Amino acid sequence: MDDQYLDAFIRESEEAITELNNSLLDLESDPSDRDAMDDIFRTAHTLKGNFGAMGFEDASDLAHAVEDLLDAMRQGEMEVTPERMDRIFTVVDMIEAIVNEIDEDSESTTDTSEVVAGLRAVLEGESTGEDATEDADGTAAGSAEAVGVDPGDVDAGVLEATVSVGDSDMPGVDAMLAVEAIEESFDLLATAPDRDDIEDGAFESAFALGLDGDDPDAAAETLAEAAEVDDVSVADVTDTVLGPTGPGDGPAVSATGDLADDDADTTVDEIKSVRVDVDQLDDLHGLVEQLVTSRIKLRRAVEHEDLDGASENLNELGKVTANLQNTVMDMRLIPLKKVVGKFPRMVRDLARELDKDVEFTIEGEDIELDRTILTEISDPLMHIIRNSLDHGIEPPEERERAGKPRTGHVELRASRERDHVIIAVEDDGAGLDVEEIRRQALEQSVRSSDELETMDESAVYDLVFHPGFSTADEVTDTSGRGVGMDVVHDTVTQLDGSVNVESTPGEGTTVSLRLPVTMAIVKVLFVEVGDEEYGIPLKNVDEITRTDEVKQINGTPVIKHNDDIYPVIDLAETFDVPGAGGDDAEVVADGGEDGGMLVRIRESERRVALHCDEVDSQEEVVVKPLEGILSGTPGLSGTAVLGDGNIVHILDVVTL
């Protein structure tokens, strides 16, 4: 298949799925929302058409079936209920899985016939106006779980059979024949629609049976042998219904599967494609033309040994490359929507799972960020939102008792502040418990009790970013707070951003990320330490001084500035650099002639001064975050490749 078409198909399908999810959420919150309904139809139709055009018939059938189900809702034949929406969402998830499959393997092996048949069975069952399948809602279309199997009834296992009887004068009789036949060898646990409806033929072409057994092949054979049965599929769904513990244990499981799966589903992949404005492409083309012209001019000047001309051409070349850089940086910008578009669905599922009422709103989704930054913050944002739902928003009854509306509110708000984007996640939940954090911090030896006494609330809140710190009494599947929050902090810091928590007990919590818009070129100050060279981001630097002022306090070298004391960190010692000037600590302490230089860091970053042998030039570099085993190395934020090809480590003054 033509890759170009396939890529476009995948991209469009992914967008359509996100759109579909969000329109469905709109519809769920307001069943009379005609616009949402129209959007859903248009999108489902597009998906159906695209799948069909690309030859993915199974997926096309699936989209078609869901379109029909929605049509029944639009016609008012079916009410919009969360359970029915669960069913539709499950199908949308299946469509998404198929798209992912196609993306990876250029083909899909997912068999949709069963789900399609189940969906159709429900559609027919429900369109008779009976609420026969009321208890059949809940989960995957046509699944035995959906037909309301009571786990306590199960002996050997649960099989889910979807039976189709084709065109018939007496569909009810046909169904009965099948049911009677299967009952000779299997206990019937449940049916969808219910049995009376099946026997009345109140389904169009298929119905679902939940059977007690562990041999799907035997069940399929028995059913297929029954008179008038057109098509049968049987699947073992024991694990889905009973959980992995097997039969007999009996605990009913929640309808939406386990959280680990959800995690996998909602993880946003790296953003692989960027849509580029045609104007930007034209700009780019123009700049490349200028680049070529400048090069020719430069070469001519060099050939004629015309130094003035060459220097003039170099200036011109400098301007062109700067423009080029800006244009390319702009092209890497992607609206936040690309990542947060998937969040409403995640919040919905999670809220249902946690039995909480949550309204989720997004503001500023059109704000643009660099592709890499956007990809990186997707997971952290998800963690933060999960935390808000899990720990922030209280259960509805608790909210009511506290005099709050039953429905909690979580808002993701993005705004632009010059070169930065602020993304805040605000909830109106219980807020952080300062005393609990203090207690935990003490218990986990994160801070001493003396330190904790003197900390103000804001500093205490920041402790939640400490690795391994958890305020949840028990770490739940959804989010043991400490588990994610230190990752959030590390990721954002790596991106040269910052994260902050504000909270008011009883009123809510706001987590704000401050991120650079682009993986901007960073101006760094190069310093020499022994044979090594390091870069210090210039914006962190307040002053460069000689080592004369170094004093000793309790054996620690420090300098004073505006009556504040700045401890001196010796880079040679920190990074164990060979060949650094003399016996470092003493040199610093002596403050002698050849004692090197001190770089005093801005107070806002960290009250500290760095000792190095020599301070070199300032230069603009592109900082790449550390990857693999190096990531998370204290004191290092990334690397930069210099003009001569050398690689220099860029310091992270906060973790140094």
State the residues that interact with other proteins by CB under 8 A: 169-170, 172-173, 176-177, 180, 199, 201, 225-228
Question: Where do runs of H (alpha helix) occur along 304-445?
Answer: 307-331, 337-340, 343-354, 371-387, 396-401, 434-443
What string of DSSP letters covers 123-171?
HHHHHTS--TTGGG-SSSTT-TTTTT--GGG-SS-EEEEEEE--S-S-H
Rounded-to-integer distance, Cα 2 and Cα 70, Å: 33
Rounded-to-integer distance, Cα 201 and Cα 178, Å: 12
Kindly state the smallest distance separating residue 200's Cβ from other proteins, in Å.
9
Peptide bond into 193 cis (omega under 30): yes
Q: In the numeric block, which tokens belong to residue 296?
A: 């020719």
Kindly state the smallest distance separating residue 184's Cβ from other proteins, in Å.
9
Which residue number, 170 or 622, has a Cβ lying nearer to other proteins?
Answer: 170
Sign (positive/negative) of CA torsion 217, 222, 227, 228? negative
Which residue number, 6 or 177, has a Cβ lying nearer to other proteins?
Answer: 177
DSSP 537: E
Contact 585, 570 (CB under 8 A): yes
Which residue number, 175 or 437, has a Cβ lying nearer to other proteins?
Answer: 175
Rounded-to-integer distance, Cα 229 and Cα 512, Å: 60
Kindly state the smallest distance separating residue 160's Cβ from other proteins, in Å.
23
Kindly state the smallest distance separating residue 179's Cβ from other proteins, in Å.
9
| Residue 264: CB atoms within 10 Å | 8
As a whole number of Å, the CA-based R_g of the chain is: 32
Kindly state the smallest distance separating residue 107's Cβ from other proteins, in Å.
36
Give whole-number Cα distances, 640 to 275, 533, 624, 626, in Å.
28, 11, 6, 10
Kindly state the smallest distance separating residue 392's Cβ from other proteins, in Å.
56
Give residue for tokens 């005609």: 34
Which residue number, 226 or 559, has a Cβ lying nearer to other proteins?
Answer: 226
Which residue number, 170 or 642, has a Cβ lying nearer to other proteins?
Answer: 170
Contact 539, 497 (CB under 8 A): no
How many helices (H) and strands (E) are present in the chain, helices listed first? Answer: 22, 22
Which residue number, 177 or 544, has a Cβ lying nearer to other proteins?
Answer: 177
Q: In what order do the strands lie in the sheet with 564-570?
A: 541-546, 597-601, 609-612, 564-570, 556-561, 551-553
Which residue number, 72 or 177, has a Cβ lying nearer to other proteins?
Answer: 177
Kindly state the smallest distance separating residue 340's Cβ from other proteins, in Å.
55
Rounded-to-integer distance, Cα 449 and Cα 405, Å: 38
Which residue number, 175 or 587, has a Cβ lying nearer to other proteins?
Answer: 175
Which of 125, 597, 517, 514 is CA-nearest to residue 333? 517
Which residue number, 201 or 364, has a Cβ lying nearer to other proteins?
Answer: 201
Rounded-to-integer distance, Cα 77 and Cα 126, Å: 8
Which residue number, 164 or 518, has a Cβ lying nearer to other proteins?
Answer: 164
Which of 187, 193, 157 is CA-nearest to residue 175? 193
Which residue number, 97 or 177, has a Cβ lying nearer to other proteins?
Answer: 177
| Residue 47: CB atoms within 10 Å | 26
